[in-house]
């Protein structure tokens, strides 16, 4: 792990704090992330002044986490990959590797971040199935209207 103190990104984000979880909308990438309680706690302590060891202590204290430092490393790697940490971070290891290291592949208390791509308006709207008669690409679920037929 790198020496830099982790710092949460604050620009171009909309954050909704729900009980036990956090929803973060990335306005630049149009992706929405749901952080579970452990990931939320870790992100909230990424203030650029708190070390990963200190964050691990918080995780132990608040959630009774085991292997807290490894969990923090896992979370930082995931958060960095999802562009939720500021700047170029050295947290670049695969989730599978961390799970193996933690020996907790089925662990429920692991920091988790679920992500969805937010749809464009046309994709979220009503659309026509393959084979339907169409007159513009926007009408088709596939986005392709070829010779008046959705393909």
Check residue 83 and give left, alpha or beta (phi > 0: left; psi -120 to 50: alpha).
left
Residue 36 and residue 108 in contact, taking contact as beta carbons nearer than 8 Å = no
Q: Which is closer to other proteins, CB of 23 or CB of 104?
A: 23
Q: Which is closer to other proteins, CB of 10 or CB of 129?
A: 129
The mark string for 64-103 relative to other proteins (x by CB under 8 A, - otherwise) is ----------------------------------------
Q: Any contact of residue 29 with other proteins (CB under 8 A)?
A: no
Instruction: For the chain, give the longest Cα–Cα distance.
Output: 63
CA distance 149 to 124: 20
Q: Segment near other proteins (CB under 8 A), from 3-11, 27-35, 66-74, 101-109?
A: 27-35
Q: How far is the CB of 67 from other proteins (least distance, A)?
A: 24
Residue 94 and residue 78 in contact, taking contact as beta carbons nearer than 8 Å = no
CA distance 89 to 70: 17
Which residues of the chain form contacts with other proteins (CB under 8 A)?
14, 16, 18-23, 25, 27, 30, 32, 34, 114, 116-136, 138-139, 141, 148-150
């Amino acid at each position: 792990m790198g020496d830099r103190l982790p710092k949460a990104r604050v620009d171009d984000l909309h954050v909704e704090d729900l009980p036990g979880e956090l929803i973060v909308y990335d306005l630049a990438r149009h992706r929405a992330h749901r952080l579970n309680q452990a990931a939320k706690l870790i992100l909230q302590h990424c203030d650029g002044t708190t070390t990963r060891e200190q964050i691990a202590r918080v995780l132990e204290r608040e959630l009774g986490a085991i292997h807290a430092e490894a969990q923090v490393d896992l979370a930082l790697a995931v958060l960095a990959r999802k562009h939720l940490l500021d700047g170029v971070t050295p947290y670049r290891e695969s989730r599978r590797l961390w799970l193996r290291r933690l020996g907790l592949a089925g662990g429920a208390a692991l920091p988790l971040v679920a992500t969805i791509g937010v749809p464009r308006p046309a994709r979220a709207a009503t659309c026509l199935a393959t084979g339907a008669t169409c007159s513009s690409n926007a009408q088709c679920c596939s986005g392709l209207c070829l010779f008046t037929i959705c393909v």
